[in-house]
């Protein structure tokens, strides 16, 4: 009965349109009250969930992304991407993919990626005669690569949700090939859709402009090298890497680019503070939710139900992906990771999947939720920037959804795509 109350209140809250944080918290409180436990248990679990030292990395990475967004790195990346691929048919779409991928590596946040790149690229594409729905879909799906980048705070959330089974080093290495595969899938999709719609090609600006624009963007992109190199070499931990990244972003945007005004600095601080507060509150409340799910053996119940369908690992993995997809429709990215990891991680490891590989699968599935209503933060933001109805964008979304699902299936069924680099380092 307690488990029924936990799940019913949670699902009921989501159906009624309640924010995810409140739905999780209300279901946990209702279950604790039913069990006759003191409410202090809830707050103790929340405090312990948010009090982990490793969580220092989250505000650092978020603040780094905001500094880069307000510090002008987006404009330099767009210029470099346009010079490289803007002359190909549908070149602005491919420019969008390349620019969003590069900025995603800097910000680590798909939503910040859509905000920074979409504000510049979507209006530009519309002025060039490109349909608004195509511009929005290219931007929102290209931004999802940021979730697999070393600066992604969602990697940290998964690492901690997995109960210490997965290190940040392993996730950084595991995300490299899937990020490349998703970028290639997005580029091909953008090209073929542009070709089918008859979009024109631009003019090649010459190799001089290509190298000049690339040189202007490289200092901003170098932050990826600092984080990856520092963590993998053991020079500093993930939390220290976040602090170094913030310092580098400040020095770069203030003294090198000279593009970060004091007003934009305050905006970056305010935005990073707000985002960090939401993420940590969600982590704290989800800690209580996960504790209750572990008490009532939710993972065992779900695993037993799946075993009645099939005992073949690949069938189980596909069914888990379907379940993650359904959860992703209703949950934001951080909530999706925190709720689903304790349920499905024991199941997939029982059938031979490495927790690192599952981490990349969870991250990819979580990004699907960013681009599907009713949550779809990146989706709605892109539609708002493009000033295009949601219904119109949904009708033309399927080629990009197919690209994402193809990448997801490759990562699920071919473990080497996420494990090769880690095995090489071993």
State mean pLDDT over 240-248. Answer: 87
pLDDT at residue 237, as a whole number: 79
Q: 3-state SS of the chain: helix, strand, coil percent to 5? A: 80, 0, 20
pLDDT at residue 128, as a whole number: 76
Q: Give dist(CA 108, CA 366) in Å, integer.
A: 14
pLDDT at 361 over 90: yes
pLDDT at residue 76, as a whole number: 83
Q: For 366, what's the count of Cα atoms within 13 Å in the CB-facing half-sphere?
A: 28
Domain boundaries, the chain: 1-37, 53-425
**C-alpha 423: how far from chain center:** 24
State mean pLDDT over 113-134. Answer: 82
pLDDT at residue 409, as a whole number: 94
Residues in the chain: 426
pLDDT at residue 52, as a whole number: 66
How many Cβ atoms sit within 10 Å of the Cβ of residue 295? 13
* More confident: 311 or 362: 362
- Planar angle of CA 421, 424, 425, nearest 5 degrees: 90
Q: How far is CA 317 from CA 120, 176, 364, in A?
A: 39, 21, 14
pLDDT at residue 51, as a whole number: 66
Q: Among all chains, which residue has been given the structure tokens 């790195």? A: 73
Percent pLDDT > 70 in the chain is 97
- Planar angle of CA 112, 142, 212, nearest 5 degrees: 85
Q: What is the pLDDT of residues 35-54, one digit of tens each?
A: 887 877 777 777 776 766 66
pLDDT at 5 over 90: no
Q: What is the pLDDT of residues 273-306, one digit of tens each?
A: 888 888 888 778 877 777 787 777 777 788 788 8
* More confident: 317 or 103: 317
Q: Give dist(CA 144, CA 133) in Å, integer.
A: 17
- The structure tokens listed for 224 are 């990826």
Q: For 192, what's the count of Cα atoms within 13 Å in the CB-facing half-sphere?
A: 11
pLDDT band of 373, cuts 50, 70, 90: confident
pLDDT band of 356, cuts 50, 70, 90: very high
- The structure tokens listed for 49 are 């969930």
Q: Give dist(CA 346, CA 301) in Å, integer.
A: 11
State mean pLDDT over 189-209. Answer: 81
pLDDT at residue 126, as a whole number: 83
Spatial CA neighbour of 67 closest among 281, 242, 278: 242
For 63, list phi and psi in degrees, rounded to 5. -65, -40
- The structure tokens listed for 338 are 């925190």
pLDDT at residue 415, as a whole number: 92
Long-range contacts for 322-329 (Cβ within 8 Å, ≥24 apart)? 324/361, 324/362, 324/365, 324/366, 325/365, 325/368, 327/365, 327/369, 328/365, 328/366, 328/368, 328/369, 328/372, 329/368, 329/369, 329/372, 329/373, 329/374, 329/375
């Amino acid at each position: 009965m307690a488990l029924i109350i936990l799940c019913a209140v949670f699902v009921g809250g989501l159906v009624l349109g309640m924010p995810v944080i409140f739905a999780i918290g209300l279901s946990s409180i209702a279950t604790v009250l039913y069990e006759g436990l003191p409410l202090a248990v809830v707050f103790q679990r929340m405090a312990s969930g948010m009090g982990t030292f490793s969580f220092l990395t989250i505000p650092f990475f978020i603040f780094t992304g905001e500094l880069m967004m307000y510090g002008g790195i987006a404009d330099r990346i767009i210029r470099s991407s346009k010079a490289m691929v803007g002359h190909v048919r549908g070149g602005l779409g491919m420019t969008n993919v390349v620019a969003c991928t590069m900025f995603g590596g800097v910000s680590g946040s798909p939503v910040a990626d859509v905000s920074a790149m979409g504000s510049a690229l979507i209006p530009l594409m519309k002025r060039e005669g490109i349909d608004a729905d195509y511009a929005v879909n290219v931007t929102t799906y290209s931004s999802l690569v940021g979730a697999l980048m070393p600066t992604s705070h969602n990697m940290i959330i998964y690492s901690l949700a997995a109960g210490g089974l997965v290190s940040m080093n392993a996730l950084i290495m595991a995300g490299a090939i899937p990020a490349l595969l998703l970028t290639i899938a997005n580029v091909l999709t953008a090209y073929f859709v542009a070709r089918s719609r008859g979009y024109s090609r631009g003019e090649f600006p010459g190799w001089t402009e290509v190298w000049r624009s690339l040189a202007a963007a490289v200092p901003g992109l170098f932050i990826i090298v600092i984080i990856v190199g520092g963590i993998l070499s053991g020079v500093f931990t993930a939390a220290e890497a976040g602090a170094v990244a913030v310092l580098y972003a400040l020095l770069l945007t203030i003294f090198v680019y000279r593009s970060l005004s004091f007003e934009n600095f305050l905006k970056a601080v305010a935005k990073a503070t707000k985002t960090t507060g939401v993420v940590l509150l969600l982590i704290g409340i989800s800690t209580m939710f996960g504790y209750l799910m572990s008490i009532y053996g939710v993972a065992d119940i779900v695993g037993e139900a799946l075993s009645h369908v099939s005992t073949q690992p690949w069938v189980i993995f596909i069914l888990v992906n379907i379940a993650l997809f359904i959860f992703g429709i209703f949950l934001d990215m951080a909530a999706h990771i925190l709720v689903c990891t304790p349920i499905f991680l024991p199941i997939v490891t029982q059938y031979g999947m490495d927790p690192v590989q599952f981490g990349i699968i969870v991250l990819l599935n979580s990004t699907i939720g960013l681009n599907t209503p009713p949550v779809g933060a990146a989706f709605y933001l892109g539609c708002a920037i493009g000033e295009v109805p949601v219904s119109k964008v949904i009708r033309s979304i399927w080629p990009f959804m197919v690209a994402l699902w193809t990448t997801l299936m490759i990562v699920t069924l071919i473990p080497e795509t996420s494990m090769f680099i880690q095995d090489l380092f071993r």
